[in-house]
Amino acid sequence: MLRVEMFHLKLALFDDGRLLWEKSAPNCIRPGPPYPHEDVESAWNFFLDALREAARSHQIGAIVPTAHGAAGALIGESGLAAPVMDYEFTGVEVVEPDYARLRPPFSESLSPKVPAGLNLGRQLAYQKWHCPDLFAKARYFVGYPQYWAWRLAGVAASEVTTLGAHTDLWAPRQGQASSLVKALGVDHLLPPLRRAFDPLGPIKPDIAAATGLAPGTLVVCGIHDSNASLLPYLVSRRAPFTVLSTGTWVILMCVGLSLDQLDPRDDTLANVDALGRPVACGRFMGGREYAVIAGDGNQDLDAIERVIASGAMALPCFSGHGGPYATTKGVIRGEVAASDRTALATLYCALISDLMLTRMGATRGDLIVEGTFGGNRAFCQTLGALRTTQRVFAAEDTAGTARGAAMLAHWPPSYQIAEPAPVNPISITGLDSYRKAWTAAVDMIAR
């Protein structure tokens, strides 16, 4: 599995769901020109070195790329036609007046308007209108996972989990490209649609020679990272259920939930799973917000109860991206001991998750917390105390996204999927009253 996220690069090897080997490195952003962009050459050199190292001790049968959904690549005849834009580049918003006239309504795309380059369609419009010389060299436009698949196998492909990840480029209910693709005049750039688990072909001969991999090593089309986290539960659970995929972002994926309560003002949307089905989702930048609020200290239940008793509150938003309060500036009200700031951050993220699930109507079925917060027992217990009609499970496996992506190498998987651990229900003193006060405070700042 080859993974690219905002801050990290990773190569991980799996065998029937067992992690055998992994190596990671920081992901780098270059300042430009023509705009801040991914340092794809540094990433490529890391992957080649890591593949070379892994091939010395393991037999690799297939490579599956996964990456976040807010990056895409304009490919020319032999390489990138334009750099892969950093989605935090705010300069892209200069196109908004013209882009807004082409943008499909939320009822079609189920993709809310979000800041900077988080809507991939806005990035594409900026590249076409502000970098015409580079854009003119493009033969294909592909999502970031499929860029790496193309680089490895030389085959360009479109794929629905990436096209359907808040891009404005996909119509989830219809299962086809949105009206924006034709309106923007980029329909000729989308290569044929392939499924996330489709083999695109073997690695190119020069890559086999450079890494020591077998010439027949397959390259699989690849998948959006949050959808990779969802895969183990799609094949092991019945709907309805919700997966909280946690890291820099917290993505709440509600399988079996109606799409009718999605509201772009709350940053709720539909992603599309690996089988092409729309999934009701919400998101906020929980990992980054947690890091801003937290200090070095306690995150156990005693600390949570001390924060509640103090009345101190963290009120959104601390990242400037994502969630129903992205445009408000985060504040901490009241006094909280430095040693309890981590508990405050945990409580804040649980409350935001609870609020978004309630607004989406996700009141039934299990809640599975995977990724970073899956290892934060206080978060899982607090979420369970807030969501008393649902069972909470913790997948403490920090390799969940990579593990899900690796499943695509042999789809559907023939091995047993590991079950997440149940979180015992508990009661937290004062939590109900605190939630009411916190919600009232949030409502006031949002007016």
Residue 325 structure tokens: 């309060």
pLDDT (0 to 100) of residue 447? 59
Place of tokens 């990779």: 228
Taking alpha carbons only, the member of 79, 91, 71 closest to residue 27 is 71
Taking alpha carbons only, the member of 350, 356, 341, 422 closest to residue 386 is 350
Paired sense of beta strands 392-395 and 366-371, if any: parallel
Domain-by-domain residue ranges, the chain? 2-221, 226-446
SS3 432: helix
Superfamily of domain 2-221: ATPase, nucleotide binding domain (3.30.420.40)
Mean pLDDT by 10 residues, the chain (447 residues): 80 94 95 96 97 96 96 96 97 98 97 94 98 98 98 98 97 97 98 98 98 98 95 94 93 96 95 97 96 83 96 95 91 94 97 97 96 94 97 87 94 91 95 98 83
pLDDT (0 to 100) of residue 348? 98
pLDDT (0 to 100) of residue 399? 81
- 410: burial class by Cβ within 10 Å (0-12, 13-18, 19+)? middle
Q: Do domains 2-221 and 226-446 have the same CATH topology?
A: yes
Alpha carbons 402 and 248: distance in angstroms, whole number: 15
pLDDT (0 to 100) of residue 317? 94
Q: For residue 202, give the H/E element and its range.
A: strand 199-202
Q: Which fold has domain 226-446?
A: Nucleotidyltransferase; domain 5 (3.30.420)
Alpha carbons 96 and 89: distance in angstroms, whole number: 13
This prediction has a pTM of: 0.92
Asked if 268 contacts 360 with a C-beta cutoff of 8 angstroms, the reply is: yes
